Amino acid sequence: MCSIYKKEIVSFFSSLTGYIVIVVFLALTGWFMWINPGEFNILDSGYSTIDTLFIIAPWVFLFLVPATTMRSFAEERKTGTIELLLTHPISEMQLVTAKYLAAVTLILLSIVPCLIYYVTVYFIGNPVGNIDSGGTWGSFIGLFFLASAYVSIGIFASSLTDNQIVAFIISAVLCFFAYTGFDGLALLSPLKSINTFIISIGINEHYKSMSRGVIDIRDVIYFVIVSAVFIGAARLKLQSRKW
C-alpha cells in the first residue's frame, strides 16, 4: 500500500498535475481575496477575516479535485495496468485507500500555504491579532474534511470508467450535488416537513458548522462516513470485475 501511495505522489509531481493544482488553487483564492475589487476583497471589506477563502475554496475544489482524481483508475483501466496492479499482494481496499490518501495529501499541500493569509490578516488587523482565530482554524479543518470527501467521490467516479473526461464530469456533478443539492431538495414543497433532515445529509451543513470554530464530533463522523462510503463503493466496483 505504501508503495502505491508513494508512486501516486511521485506521479503527481513528476508531471505538472501537482504543481498546477496547488498554483491554480492559490491563484484563484488569492485573486478574490486580495486583487479583485468587491465584497470578497479583504482590503475593501475592512474586516479582519479570511472568510472569503472558505467561501470560494469549496467551489474551486469542485473542479480541482475531480481534475486530480480523474486519472486514478480511469487511466489504469485504459492502459490495462489495473490488472497488473492487482496481481501484486495488495487488496482492492488497499489500492483504493492508497490512491485516496495520495490525492488527499496533494489537496492538503494546496491548503497549507493558505496559512499565510491568516498570518497576514493577523498582523495587518487593527489592533494586531484582531481575527477570530477559533473560527478560522475550525474553517481550515472543515475545508480539509470537505476536500477529503470530494476526493473520495472523485476516486469512486474514476473507478466507474476508463475515460478521464467522463470521470471528471461524474465527479464534478456528484460533488456539486453533495455540496448544494440537498439544500435545494429541502426547498421542495413535498419535502419541507423533513427539510432539516435532508439538509443534514449534505456537505454544506456540516462544513458551515465546523466553520463556526466548534469542532463537533458529529460533523467529523459525518465526513468520515461520506469518505468511507465512496471508498467502499470504489472497492466494490473494482471487485465487480471478478463477478
- pLDDT for res 168: 94
- pLDDT for res 185: 77
pLDDT category of residue 242 using cuts at 50, 70 and 90: low
Chain Cα centroid distance, residue 191: 28
H helices, E strands: number in the chain: 14, 0
The number of folded domains in the chain is: 1
Burial 77-110 (b: 16+ CB within 10 A, else e): beeeebeebbeeeeebbbbbbbbbbbbbebbebb
State the residue for C-alpha cell 471589506.
45
Q: What is the CA radius of gyration of the chain?
A: 19
- pLDDT for res 243: 57
pLDDT in tens, 137-180: 989 999 999 999 999 999 999 999 889 999 999 999 999 999 99
Q: How far apart are the C-alpha atoms of 147 and 160, rounded to whole Å?
A: 20
The answer, yes or no, to whether residue 7 has pLDDT greater than 60, is: yes
- pLDDT for res 191: 67
pLDDT in tens, 68-127: 999 888 887 787 777 777 777 778 888 899 999 999 999 999 999 999 999 988 888 777
Quote the strand ranges of 190-238, DSSP E. Answer: none
CB burial class (10 A; 0-12, 13-18, 19+) of residue 3?
A: exposed
The dihedral sign for the CA sequence 103, 97, 167, 182: negative
DSSP 111-143: HGGGHHHHHHHHHHSSSTT-S-HHHHHHHHHHH
- pLDDT for res 230: 95
Q: How far apart are the C-alpha atoms of 92 and 237, rounded to whole Å?
A: 9
- pLDDT for res 121: 87
**Of 123, 94, 39, 52, which Cα lies nearest the Cα of 235?**
94
The three cell numbers of residue 163 are: 475515460
pLDDT in tens, 172-222: 999 999 999 888 877 776 766 777 888 888 999 899 888 877 788 999 999
Question: Domain limits at 185?
Answer: 2-242
**Of 186, 216, 208, 217, which Cα lies nearest the Cα of 199?**
186
- pLDDT for res 174: 95
What spatial distance separates the first Cα and last Cα of the chain, rounded to whole Å?
Answer: 24
pLDDT category of residue 131 using cuts at 50, 70 and 90: confident
Q: Helix 17-30 vs helix 51-69: angle between axes, to the nearest 10 degrees?
A: 160
The answer, yes or no, to whether residue 18 has pLDDT greater than 70, is: yes
- pLDDT for res 63: 92
- Mean pLDDT, the chain, integer: 86
